[in-house]
Amino acid sequence: MNIHKEGYKIILISTLLFAGVLYGLSSLGAPSWLMALLGLPLLVLYILIVRFFRNPARHSDQTENGIVSPCDGKVVVIEEVEETEYFKDKRIQISIFMSPLNVHVNRNPVSGIFSYFKYHPGKYLVAWHPKSSTENERTTSVIKTDTGVEVLFRQIAGAVARRIRWYIKPGDKAGKGEEMGFIKFGSRVDVYVPIGTEIKVELEQKVSAADTLLAVLK
């Protein structure tokens, strides 16, 4: 299993703590039943932490003019909204909720050039709160495709997720399905596409980063 670089430090600290607790109990002569009682929950927690930072290989859907999912999770919103930061007009918003059990690597939904990027400090409302898209800590990224169409997407922190990472800046080339960032411990990603875009997913549908076709540009 490949481990994402964002997990190296946390996994190392977790390993040292886990080993330290077991060593301390053993040194104090703790009975085996107490070792098991304390050690088993710690082991389960350790495995969950390691799994959270897994980074499986992905092969991006290559549908012409296709927009792929930027993250793993479940589709919780598909609606027409007013996008007020960049486009300042109506767009179709597709929101994907990422639980702590999902892979948390974020990927580019389309290929092109990053034409805009901005980090916004903010609140930590639960990720499914209607105002989380505009009030929570978040980033806004816009990719201009080779055909000149722009697609906007946001990494949004949640009540638990308070660490957003990004590895891009305006002017960078974007490859569809390539890694662009990471959000730690549960969160949400919103994608904004032009009105008239053909939507290929449904509410409550589970999606996978790069693998799942979200929509097709007209």
Query: What is the bridge-based pairing of β-strands 198-199 and 105-107?
Result: unpaired
Q: Could you give the C-alpha distances from 212 to 32, 93, 107, 154, in angstroms and in order? A: 47, 16, 12, 18
Looking at residue 135, its pLDDT comes to 66
pLDDT, tens digit only, all 218 positions of the chain: 799 998 899 899 999 988 888 888 788 887 888 778 888 888 898 898 898 899 999 989 889 999 999 999 999 999 999 999 999 999 999 999 998 889 999 999 999 999 999 999 876 666 555 565 666 789 999 999 999 999 999 999 876 655 789 999 999 999 999 999 998 766 889 999 999 999 999 999 999 999 999 999 98
Q: Which residues contact 207 (CB under 8 A, 6 or more apart)?
A: 69, 71, 72, 73, 74, 75, 96, 201, 214
> CB-based burial of residue 25 (10 Å sphere; 0-12 exposed, 13-18 middle, 19+ buried)?
middle
Q: Map out the domains of the chain as residue ranges.
A: 5-52, 66-216
Packing angle, helices 8-27 and 32-52, rounded to 10: 180
* pLDDT value of residue 127: 57
Q: If you search the block for the tokens 């997990």, which residue do you land on?
A: 7
Q: Which residue has the tokens 């002569």?
A: 29
| Catalytic residue ranges | 187
3-state SS of the chain? Answer: CCECHHHHHHHHHHHHHHHHHHHHHHHCCCCHHHHHHHHHHHHHHHHHHHHHCECCCCCCCCCCCEEECCCCEEEEEEEEEEECCCCCEEEEEEEEEECCCCCCEEECCCCEEEEEEEEECCECCCCCCCCHHHHECEEEEEEECCCCCEEEEEEEECCCCCCEEECCCCCCEECCCCEEEEECCCEEEEEEECCCCEECCCCCCEECCCCCEEEECC
Decide if 188 contacts 132 (C-beta within 8 A).
yes
Q: Which residue has the tokens 């055909």?
A: 147
Fold classification of 66-216 (topology level): Glucose Permease (Domain IIA) (2.70.70)
Q: CA of 94: how far to CAs of 71, 73, 152, 198, in Å?
A: 12, 12, 11, 12
The Cα 179–Cα 177 span in angstroms is 7
Q: What is the per-residue pLDDT for 71?
A: 96
